Structure 1
Amino acid sequence: MTFREGCWRRRLRGEWFPGTRLTLRALASELGTSVQPVRDAIGKLTVERVLVLRPNYSVQIPNIDRELMDEIFAIRNLLEAEAARRCVSVMTDADIDDLEEAILATRRVYWVESEIPSRVTTIQGVSRILAERCGSEALCEQLINLRARTAPYYAAALARSDDGEDAEFVTFTIRIQDEFVTALRRRDEVAAAEIRKVDLYTFQHYIYRLLDVE
């Protein structure tokens, strides 16, 4: 695994919270390599806006910023709706079964205690399947980037959640997700796209509430 791939993996898993600062030397030491390959990879990751370059040879996960979060989620909402629309025509019944299993796994996250990276990975499972099986490589790449950029927010929010806060949200989102699977099985492009937008928008504002940025 290259350094860049490792950064992507850790970012997608929510191993770094918003505002986390990382030095090039520490990252190089962790990987067991020189600073130069790390610097080259960091350059690419900052262009992709996954990391922010700081003075004194350090990088940072972007801080919690309502304006930036609104922008990222708005784009992700549009693109995931398009991925859902495309999935209607290209997904097999077995693919939809896999998606339904991913949905069921996300529900268990709220009731079963586990490490934050595992929870973030599970919650992003539905988005991952939609991206990978929508039939568009370009769309998949864009959605991976957006997942990486939202994962630290998910991690920070889940670290603040508790069962009492989750119950109402989970009840609502279960109903939405069931309707989403039904729309896919009916091969209804319009309904699948619109329901996915509602599901993601609902989760977005659940995250906002936990982060106290509403």
Structure 2
Amino acid sequence: MNQKTKTAPAPSDAPAETLSLQVYHTIRDRIFRGEWLPGTRLTLRSLAADLGTSVQPVRDAIGKLTVERVLILRPNYSVQIPEIDRAMMDEIFAVRNILEAEAARRCVSSMSSADIDELEEAILATRRVYWVESEILNRVATIQQVPRLLAQRCGSVTLGDQIINLRARTAPYYAAALARNDDGQDREFVVFTIRIQDEFIAAMRRRDELAAAEIRKVDLYTFQHYIYRLLGIGD
């Protein structure tokens, strides 16, 4: 994508393990927010220069991200954002939808009223993605804030990490899809999504675990097929 997020240089005296972890989180977050489209190739040296660090912590971070299948190793010290692959997308979305439903169920009891207010604000912000023209990077970041909150507040580090990982893997697909003009063809989708989101917040406020989990799955499934339609890969 054209817009870059410039990152402050990491402290040169930071321990190697700490620096590598910082670089890992920075790169993953940029992928998570949809900065790079499917198929984008990145070199270790360009990433190191962009992050203001040496190649070694970038190499360590890339190694972790390839194990997590967020990136693919390529020849000549480069890596690639995975291409659009329908079978892989089906697999990722299926697992992610189950995990986010479980996170929603857990959040019913772990979130305070103030947390739910924050979640509602994040959900309301996603609606502007469909009506207001903005940078694709900002649109993806806005959509990703809702699952980020569910991951952070669900009370399970393991579950939260898995959600963030799968969201990072789907973010490039979101960026590619939202870069395409839907010509207002999905008004019914938007209306349905708004209703489902309202029902989700209502379930959270009345502390209904089962309803919150099931409604979250419906919302995710609907959005998944909206993305598929924009990408032209069908149902």
Quickly name the TM-score band, shorter chain normalised: over 0.9
Q: Report deviation, 1:209.
A: 0.5
Report the counterpart of residue 175 of structure 1 in structure 2: 195
1:90 to 106, 110, 117: 110
Q: Any residues of structure 2 matched to 1:72-151 within 5 Å, and which?
A: 72-151=92-171
Report the counterpart of residue 206 of structure 1 in structure 2: 226
Q: Report deviation, 1:62.
A: 0.4
Report the counterpart of residue 59 of structure 1 in structure 2: 79
Query: Counterpart of 1:22 in 2: which secondary structure?
Result: strand
The 2-side partners of 1:150 and 1:191 are apart by: 25
The 1-side partners of 2:157 and 2:103 are apart by: 11
Q: Report deviation, 1:187.
A: 1.1
Check 1:104–1:163 CA distance in 2 against 1; reply closer, same or farther (3 A cut). Answer: farther
Give the gaps of 5 or more residues in structure 1.
none
Q: Report deviation, 1:42.
A: 1.0
Asked if the contact 1:84/1:189 (under 8 Å) is kept, the reply is yes
The 1-side partners of 2:129 and 2:183 are apart by: 11
Report the counterpart of residue 155 of structure 1 in structure 2: 175
Equivalent pairs, count: 214
Give the number of the structure whose residues are more often helix, by fraction: 1
Q: Report deviation, 1:200.
A: 0.3
The 1-side partners of 2:48 and 2:123 are apart by: 37
Q: Report deviation, 1:9.
A: 1.8
Aligned-partner residue type, residue 201 of structure 2? V
1:31 to 39, 48, 51: 51
Report the counterpart of residue 41 of structure 1 in structure 2: 61
Report the counterpart of residue 211 of structure 2 in structure 1: 191
Asked if the contact 1:20/1:60 (under 8 Å) is kept, the reply is yes
Q: Deviations for 1:15-68, whole angstroms, at most 9, x for unmatched residues?
A: 000010111222222223332222222111101111100112110000000011
The 2-side partners of 1:32 and 1:102 are apart by: 32
Asked if the contact 1:120/1:155 (under 8 Å) is kept, the reply is yes
The 2-side partners of 1:83 and 1:38 are apart by: 31
The 2-side partners of 1:62 and 1:26 are apart by: 18
Greater relative contact order, per chain length (Cα 8 Å cut-off, separation 6+): 1
Q: With the length of structure 1 as denominator, give the TM-score of the two structures.
A: 0.96
Asked if the contact 2:106/2:154 (under 8 Å) is kept, the reply is yes
The 1-side partners of 2:149 and 2:51 are apart by: 29
Asked if the contact 2:104/2:154 (under 8 Å) is kept, the reply is yes
Asked if the contact 2:31/2:168 (under 8 Å) is kept, the reply is yes
Q: With the length of structure 2 as denominator, give the TM-score of the two structures.
A: 0.87
Report the counterpart of residue 7 of structure 2 in structure 1: none
Query: Counterpart of 2:205 in 1: which secondary structure?
Result: helix
Q: Report deviation, 1:163.
A: 4.8
